[in-house]
Structure 1
Amino acid sequence: MLTAARNLWRKHRFLFIAFITALVVTAFFAARLVLFSLYWAEPAHQDQPVEGWMTPRYVALSYDLPPGVVREALELEPVDGERHTLEEIAEASSLTLEEIQRRIDEAVRAQKGDRE
C-alpha cells in the first residue's frame, strides 16, 4: 500500500493531493453531522425554555421550527450575518424574555397546528 501511495505521489501528485483534501473535507463534515445529530437528539436540548444566551437559530433548532418562523415571531429583519442573542434582541426591542418565550410558544402551537 505504501508503494502504491509513493507511486501515486510521483506520477499524479496533483490528483493525490486533491484526493487527500477531499477525504479530509468529507471526514470533517461527517464528524460535524454526527456531533450535531447526537446533540439535537438529546431530549435535554429539545424545547428548552429560552435564556438570554440563546440565539434565534438555537431556539429554532431546539423547538424544531424553521428559522423564518422564529424570526417572524420575534419580528426580526432577515438575517444580516450577525448572530444576536435573545438578550440583545430583548434590549433592542424592549421585550422581556418572558414575552419572547410566549411568542415562541405561540409560534410552536401555530406551526404544529399546520403540521397536523
Structure 2
Amino acid sequence: MQMTIFTLPISMLLFFVLFFGIGFILNMLLRMSWVMAIIYPIISILIVDQVRFIEYFNNSKHAFTDLGTRLANLALADILILSSGLAGTIVAGITIKMLRNRGYRMF
C-alpha cells in the first residue's frame, strides 16, 4: 500500500504521541526513567515480524533469518514511523528525568 504525503507525518506524530504517553506512564509508575526505551525495540520487532514468539525458541534459525529479511526490506516510511516511536520513548525518559530533577514527585 502506498503511503501519501499526508499519511506519513500523521502516522509519525501518532506513533510519537502514543509511545511518549505509554513511556511517560510506565516511567512514572515503575520509577525507572528508561524502561520504555529498553522495551521499545522488542515492541517494534513484534510489529514488524510475522513469526510467532515461540518460534524464536523452537526454530530460532528460521525465525531470526525471517526477522533479518523483514528488517532489511522495510520501506523508508516504515523506518521513519518506527523511529518516531523510539523518539517518543526517549523524550518521555528525558521529560521524567527533568521533572524529577526539578522536584516533582510522581507516585
- TM-score when scaled to structure 2? 0.29
The structure with more radius of gyration: 1
Q: Which one has more relative contact order, counting CA pairs under 8 Å at least 6 apart?
A: 2
More helix by share: 2
- TM-score when scaled to structure 1? 0.27
